[in-house]
Amino acid sequence: MENLIQKLLIELGEDTTREGLQKTPGRVAKSLKILTEGYHQDLHKIVNDAFFEHSSQDIILVKDIDLFSLCEHHMLPFYGKCHVAYIPQGKIIGLSKMPRIVNMFSRRLQVQERLTKQISEALMEILRPQGVGVVIEAEHLCMKMRGVEKQNSKAITSSMLGIFHSESTLRQEFLNLIH
């Protein structure tokens, strides 16, 4: 990967022998491995059987989960907040597992729409709750630095599954809680 990055720098017109760029190919390779580590993670290993019996049927919400990802179209960052809620059906998951699941899917080349759906479907798969709601609010550098260059734009995506999809009052309660 370092050789490819060095070739890229040369194609951009850079002198890869200058002091500031000599170690750049290695640093970029290391960064890209971290930023795409989600490809090498497994949902079931992340959750690690952190399930607990619970009889509540109220909304469980973790909001404002920081997320960082790379746009698959331009490989530029997008970043924002993810809000994840579910209504249990006999079991709950350790709260720290939800940000770990968000990280697993966001640390890949992504589009926000798919990322939102992957998080909600993963929680439905492992928890089998009554419903899951996921909302992501993100800013995309591919829209800020290039293209339309709109500095104040945010993209908001949602995925509502199960009872959050079918019951508008629960969906509205979730949306009220995150705002």
Share of the chain above pLDDT 70, in %: 100
125, 103: one domain: yes
Does the residue 54 lie in any domain?
yes
Catalytic center residues: 71-74, 112, 140, 142
Give the tens place of pLDDT for each residue, 8-31: 999 999 999 999 999 999 999 999
DSSP helix/strand/coil, 142 = helix
Domain identity same for 8 and 26? yes
Q: Is the pLDDT of residue 151 over 90?
A: no
Per-residue pLDDT, 8: 97
User: Structural domain of residue 159, as residue ranges?
Assistant: 45-178
Residue 158 pLDDT exceeds 90: yes
Residue 40 lies in a domain: no
Average pLDDT of the segment spanning 32-36: 97
- For residues 113 and 153, state if they share a domain: yes
On whether both 52 and 118 belong to a single domain, the answer is: yes
In this structure, the answer to whether residues 16 and 81 fall within a common structural domain is: no
User: What is the number of structural domains in the chain?
Assistant: 2
Q: Is residue 138 part of a domain?
A: yes
pLDDT tens digits, one per residue of 93-104? 999 999 999 999
Helices (H), the chain: 2-11, 24-35, 43-47, 97-106, 112-127, 141-144, 163-166, 168-178
Phi, psi for 46 (deg, rounded to 5) = -65, -45
pLDDT of residue 106: 98
Same domain, 126 and 168: yes
Per-residue model confidence as pLDDT tens digits over 111-139: 999 999 999 999 999 999 999 999 999 99
Query: Who's near 160: CB < 8 A, 6+ residues apart?
Result: 120, 131, 132, 133, 134, 171
Q: What is the pTM of this model?
A: 0.94
The residues, ordered by sequence, that sit 6+ positions from 71 with a Cβ below 8 Å of its Cβ are 77, 78, 109, 110, 111, 140, 141, 142
pLDDT class for 148, splitting at 50, 70, 90? confident
